[in-house]
Structure 1
């Protein structure tokens, strides 16, 4: 690389490798603008993420996932169930319900006044009594 006094090292390097010589000011501006653009895009992404997170905090959390909002229409066979619990009316739960726990760890909400609900409850109670008797005899 030949560098004359007062010459520009970037220009000399470009000439040596037979690349088109452009103004070094153009090269430095291109580098600056490219870096500046990356920083602006990163700032934009951070701002969008901050807005989304702040909106997420504004969404009220509900307990409806833990509540029965309506009853099932189909009776569920006792053989598919393992247990049940009662749901009472609270600030977040609007209905009384019998919540059946299936063997596949799902929940079925049933109307406590329906005959099939009472029949399945009796079936589950009998099953629990048999299991407790078996445990006592062992």
Structure 2
């Protein structure tokens, strides 16, 4: 009799333990496992994103996306990385409408 009562409870507990584990694994994204020590040329990079515990990754990193859609991981505390981020932010801020050159004024001969 006790076995009839215990078996459904064990099955229910097992189902509850397995169900959330599936949700966690589907949430994982591509995370950087280590940061590159090399300098990343600014001409290669088109965008960046930040990763860390808030995004489900253990390592804090700046993930640069190159023009060829490759991902490069870098340390967010590296001064060269911070400079590259500032350069990208400046470019993003000025990338609204395309700039037109002002028409050249003709010089008058005297």
> What displacement does 1:65 show?
6.7
In structure 2, the CA distance between the partners of 1:132 and 1:71, relative to structure 1 (3 Å rule), is: same
> Corresponding residue for 1:67?
31
> Of Structure 1 and Structure 2, which has the larger fraction of its residues in helix?
1
Q: What's the TM-score, normalizing by structure 2?
A: 0.59
Aligned length: 75
CA deviations 1:76-122 (Å, max 9, x no partner) are 01111000001012695221110000000000001000001100001
Q: Which has the higher contact order (CA 8 A, sep 6+)?
A: 2
Greater Cα radius of gyration, structure 1 or 2: 1
Gaps of 5+ in 2: 1-24, 100-110
Secondary structure of 2:94's counterpart equals helix
Gaps of 5+ in 1: 1-60
> Corresponding residue for 1:122?
86
Pairwise CA RMSD: 2.3
Q: Which has the larger displacement, 88-97 or 103-112?
A: 88-97
> What displacement does 1:125 show?
0.7
